[in-house]
C-alpha cells in the first residue's frame, strides 16, 4: 500500500501530482492545531508543513509511522530538529527555491523606501505636486548597503545592489572573508561595523537563538542617522519597539518590512501607522515560480526518503543511520 502523506496548507498542482503518484495524500488547513494534525496523521509516513502547527517533539512522538518531515519553504524555525533526529525522522526542505524572489523583494523595498513610493503615489492621486513631493527622495547610487547574512539571498542582493552603483559591505560569521569577496561583499568584522557604515541595512538570516532580536535598541543606536532598514528574513530577528523608537526619532529614515514579530501583524501595530514604513505580508518568497519550484523540490525529497533513498538536502543528517531500515 502507498505510504500516507499529510499536507498542511495546500501544495502546487505539479508537486501534488508527483506526490499522489507514490503516496496517499491528505490535505489539511494551514491553521490546523497540533491535536488536529495528530488525529489526521495517525498512520502517516510523512507530513509537509507550511507554518502551522509547529512541528514539535510531542507531535512527532505521537506518530509511530512518521519517517519524514517536509518544510514547504527554506526556514526550519518551526521544526524541532533535535527531536526529529532523536526520533529518527528525516527533515527535508527547499533551500534556494525562493532566493531570487526574496532578493528581488528586498531590492524593491529598498527602492520604494528611498523613493517614498507609497507616499508619492498617494500625493499624486490627490493632485499634490508641491515641493514636498521630492524633498525626501534620494538615489542608491554611491550609497553603502550593509547586508547581515550573506547566503543564497544575501549574495543575490549584493549583485543587484552593485549594479545600482552601491558599495556593498556585509557580515556573516559562517562565510569566510574570501568567499564574501567572491560574492561581491566587502567583509566587516562584526554586525556593529556594518551598522555604523551602511546607508541601507538589509537582514537575511534565519531566526535562531543567536539572531533573536539581533536588531534591538543597541543595534539601532549603532546605525547611521537617516538609515533605511529592510527585513525580509524573520520577524523575531527584530525588536519592533526598538525599530519604532528609531523611526519616530528620525534615526531610521524609513523601513521596508515583510516580516513581523507576530504574524499576521495586527492592524493597530504602530509601525503600520507610519508613512515612512512600507510593509508586505511575509510574501517576499512567494511568487508563482517559487511556489511551483518549492513544491516540486520538497516533494521529491520526501519521496526519496520514503523510497529508502538518502535525500539530496537533509537538514538533520545525524538521523540517517536510524532510518537504515528504509533501505
Residues with catalytic function: 234, 263, 282
Backbone φ and ψ of 253, nearest 5°: -65, -45
Using DSSP, state whether 238 is helix, strand or coil: strand
Three-class DSSP category at 276: coil
The DSSP call for residue 79 is B
Cα separation of 88 and 324, whole Å? 10
How do 227-231 and 200-203 pair as beta strands? parallel
The side-by-side arrangement of strands in the sheet containing 200-203 is 186-187, 167-171, 144-148, 200-203, 227-231, 252-257, 277-279
Cα dihedral 50, 153, 211, 260 sign: negative
Please classify residue 27 by burial: count the beta carbons closer than 10 Å to its beta carbon, then call 0-12 exposed, 13-18 middle and 19+ buried.
Answer: middle
Residue 156 and residue 232: Cα distance in Å, rounded?
13
Task: Point out which residues pair with 68 in neighbouring strands.
Answer: 46, 90
Beta strands per DSSP E along 126-245:
144-148, 167-171, 186-187, 200-203, 227-231
* β-strands 144-148, 90-92 pairing: unpaired
Strands (DSSP E) contained in the chain are 4-8, 24-28, 46-49, 68-71, 90-92, 144-148, 167-171, 186-187, 200-203, 227-231, 252-257, 277-279
**DSSP string across 23-55:** SEEEEE-TT--HHHHHHHTTT-SEEEESSSS-B
CA–CA separation, 220 vs 248, rounded Å? 12
Amino acid at each position: 500500500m502507498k505510504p500516507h502523506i499529510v499536507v498542511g496548507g495546500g501544495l502546487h498542482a505539479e508537486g501534488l501530482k508527483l506526490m499522489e503518484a507514490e503516496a496517499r495524500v491528505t490535505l489539511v488547513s494551514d491553521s490546523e492545531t497540533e491535536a488536529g494534525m495528530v488525529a489526521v496523521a495517525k498512520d502517516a509516513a510523512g507530513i509537509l508543513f507550511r507554518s502551522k502547527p509547529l512541528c514539535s517533539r510531542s507531535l512527532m512522538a505521537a506518530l509511530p509511522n512518521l519517517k519524514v518531515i517536509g518544510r514547504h519553504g527554506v526556514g526550519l524555525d518551526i521544526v524541532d530538529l533535535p527531536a526529529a533526529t532523536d526520533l529518527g525522522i528525516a527533515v527535508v526542505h527547499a533551500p534556494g527555491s525562493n532566493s531570487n524572489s526574496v532578493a528581488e523583494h528586498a531590492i524593491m523595498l529598498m527602492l520604494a523606501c528611498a523613493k517614498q513610493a507609497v507616499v508619492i503615489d498617494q500625493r499624486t492621486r490627490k493632485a499634490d505636486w508641491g515641493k514636498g513631493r521630492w524633498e525626501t527622495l534620494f538615489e542608491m547610487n554611491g550609497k553603502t548597503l550593509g547586508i547581515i547574512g550573506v547566503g543564497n539571498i544575501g549574495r543575490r542582493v549584493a549583485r543587484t545592489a552593485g549594479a545600482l552603483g552601491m558599495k556593498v559591505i556585509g557580515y556573516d560569521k559562517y562565510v569566510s572573508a574570501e568567499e564574501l569577496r567572491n560574492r561581491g561583499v566587502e567583509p566587516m568584522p562584526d554586525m556593529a561595523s556594518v551598522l555604523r557604515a551602511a546607508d541601507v541595512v538589509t537582514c537575511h538570516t534565519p531566526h535562531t537563538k543567536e539572531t533573536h532580536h539581533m536588531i534591538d535598541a543597541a543595534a539601532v543606536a549603532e546605525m547611521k542617522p537617516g538609515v533605511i532598514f529592510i527585513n525580509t528574513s524573520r520577524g523575531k530577528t527584530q525588536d519592533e519597539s526598538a525599530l519604532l523608537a528609531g523611526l519616530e526619532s528620525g534615526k531610521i529614515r524609513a523601513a521596508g518590512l515583510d516580516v513581523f514579530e507576530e504574524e499576521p501583524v495586527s492592524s493597530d501595530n504602530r509601525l503600520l501607522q507610519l508613512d515612512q514604513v512600507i510593509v508586505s505580508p511575509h510574501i517576499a518568497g512567494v511568487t508563482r515560480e517559487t511556489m511551483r519550484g518549492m513544491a516540486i523540490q520538497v516533494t521529491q525529497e520526501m519521496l526519496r526518503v520514503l523510497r529508502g533513498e538518502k535525500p539530496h538536502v537533509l537538514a538533520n543528517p545525524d538521523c540517517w543511520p536510524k532510518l537504515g531500515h528504509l533501505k
